Amino acid sequence: MLKNLNFYPVILAGGRGTRFWPLSRKKRAKQLLALDGKQTMIQQTVARLLALAPAKRFWIITNDDLRPAILKQLPRLAKTQVIAEPVGRNTAPAIGLAAFLLLRENPEAVIGMFPSDQVIEDEENYRATIERGVKIAAARESIVVLGIRPTRAETGYGYIEAGSAFDGDVLRVRRFTEKPDAETAVAFVRAGNYFWNSGMFLWSARTLTNALREHLPKTAPLLEEIASAFGTRKFTATFRRLYPKCENISVDYAVLEPRSAKGEKAGNILCLPADFGWNDLGSWSALHEHHTAKGSAVEGNIINGAGAFILNAKGNYVHAPTKFVATVGVDGLVVVDTPDALLITTLQHAQDVGKVVKHLDEKNLHKLT
């Protein structure tokens, strides 16, 4: 597979992964954990994209807490390729800064925006899909979103409503809907023209910077000024002075929704259906489901321990790597043991684990976050 000379993977790695507490912490967030194999999530993300672009064209956007560990985990990347936001400002300023930087470096740059913590089963299909999307994004002022055909009425994902055909199975996008309620999610799946929003986008640097100038007119000039200082002694001071003034908004709300509101053709957003075994591993229950689907479960139990005993126990997830684990007469539990914290919940309530971190923040118990 030939590497596209104008393709630049930009990986967003600033999240805390609070729903994976107590394993995920500020300085060791979800993307730095090996949740699916020996490599960490961010190492896997970079590794599967290296067939499409050399290491020198990768960019990581993260924060000061995670940057040292990311540099250690990704030794092939130069320090200048891993940018730490002085404050979190959501995905629009993060990917926007990358777009302004890359437009200066290569006016023909096509950016792939990738979360740092997703699982992909069929990597060959994944790369072929991205190559196709890069060609589409390079040829016109289009925004290409990779859409996952839903397998269930999931309320934790955003949805893409697809409209008319653009080219073969590539579809024009009508609108985006964030995390619908259960009844709406069921209706979406039954309709057949809705896809899960994977959070993976392809667009030329020029397309994205133009969109930001249109839809975020206050933030775009700030990002452009920061980018113009990159590589100079003024960069750090300029970054820390101007970035906090940027709007705190996701790229979905900042660009995708107003673009899609223009209509299918005028919005020029395209959905590229993707079928490569995608999972965003959003919670302990999702991780349990993922490992169960891979055939790793014993009687429905996923146990990471120093030995295990199972009796009349089904559908549990237990992480206690230094301890012998015995599960007796319990179903649907999540137990995660770390040296300073113990989580006990159920698969059903695993989505609420982030509320623990919110409580710890409010109580200033920062050693536990």
CA 245/CA 243 separation, integer angstroms: 5
Domains detected in the chain: 7-279 (3.90.550.10), 284-368 (no CATH)
pTM for this one? 0.92
Percent of the chain whose predicted confidence (pLDDT) is above 70: 99
User: What is the per-residue pLDDT for 86?
Assistant: 96
Query: What does DSSP say about strands 119-120 and 278-279: parallel, antiparallel, or unpaired?
Result: antiparallel
- The CA distance from 267 to 259, in Å, is 5
Residue 151 pLDDT level (bands cut at 50, 70, 90): confident
Which residues have CB under 8 Å from 196's CB, separation 6+? 147, 148, 149, 150, 154, 157, 158, 159, 160, 278
Q: What is the pLDDT of residue 2?
A: 53
Q: What is the mean pLDDT of residues 126-130?
A: 95
Q: What is the pLDDT of residues 276-289, one digit of tens each?
A: 999 888 899 989 98
pLDDT of residue 157: 87
